[in-house]
């Protein structure tokens, strides 16, 4: 992550979005948190996060240096529609889960990151942070003499390098799984082998 990146926008203020916001503000990064109910509904959340966090509209969050997206899969298309994504780095922390029953959504033979990429034309999509449970993501990434692992996939080398830098700045370690087609499938929940794997990189 370059030193010029100052703000991360978060679309989706559920457990994962709030956990990510907590890690960002601890690392000295400003956060714009948004949800479908509007900024007023997030006043208590941003107050608890401190002065580096503020509530904003979805469009305000999407205008940040990096945009982190984690929303209910059934609402993903609406959450991303109508935004000019051209050139933006989008961290895909979503999982194609349908409730009740944690069923895999119909993806037409692709993985969820490939489906998401079609919804955000021009965006530089990087899959990351989707495999950790919210309470694990929110906890100290430095564990047992090492750093907790975040898997990363993407087709844009520079965007992926930027997200890897962000991961390092937050205190996590990264493992690059390659392209969205390959790595996105490994990371996907349900279906892939890596979700909920709480790995620590030592050294």
Residue 101, domain member (yes or no): yes
Average pLDDT, the chain: 95
pLDDT of 196: 83
CATH number at residue 18: 3.40.50.720
Residue 105, domain member (yes or no): yes
The percent of residues above 90 in pLDDT, for the chain, comes to 91
Residue 129, domain member (yes or no): yes
HEC profile for 100-134? CCCEECCCCCCCHHHHHHHHCCCCEEEEECCCCCH
Residue 124, domain member (yes or no): yes
pLDDT in tens, 72-107: 999 999 999 999 999 999 999 999 999 888 899 999
Beta bridge partners of 44: none
The percent of residues above 70 in pLDDT, for the chain, comes to 98
Residue 120, domain member (yes or no): yes
Residue 44, domain extent = 7-202
**Residues 131 and 189: beta-carbon distance below 8 Å:** yes
Q: Please check the confidence at residue 42 and state whether its pLDDT lies above 90.
A: yes
Residue 1, domain member (yes or no): no
Average of per-residue pLDDT across 103-129: 97
Q: How many domains does the chain have?
A: 1
Give the whole-angstrom CA distance, residue 59 versus residue 37.
13
């Amino acid at each position: 992550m370059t030193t010029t990146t100052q703000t991360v926008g978060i679309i989706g203020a559920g457990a994962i979005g709030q956990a990510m916001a907590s890690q960002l503000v601890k690392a000295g990064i400003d956060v714009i948190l948004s949800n479908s109910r509007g900024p007023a509904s997030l006043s208590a959340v941003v107050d608890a996060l401190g002065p580096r966090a503020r509530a904003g509209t979805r469009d305000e969050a999407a205008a940040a240096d990096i945009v982190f997206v984690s929303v209910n899969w059934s609402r993903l298309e609406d959450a991303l529609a109508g935004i000019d994504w051209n050139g933006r780095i989008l961290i895909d922390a979503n999982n194609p889960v349908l409730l009740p029953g944690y069923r895999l959504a119909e993806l037409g033979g692709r993985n969820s990151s490939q489906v998401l990429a079609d919804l955000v034309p021009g965006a530089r999509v990087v899959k990351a942070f989707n495999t950790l449970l919210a309470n694990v993501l929110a906890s100290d990434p430095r564990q047992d003499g090492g750093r907790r692992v975040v898997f990363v996939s993407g087709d844009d080398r520079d965007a992926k390098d930027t997200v890897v830098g962000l991961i390092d700045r937050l205190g996590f370690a990264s493992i690059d799984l390659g392209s969205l087609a390959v790595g996105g499938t490994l990371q996907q929940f349900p279906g892939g082998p890596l979700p909920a794997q709480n790995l620590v990189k030592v050294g």
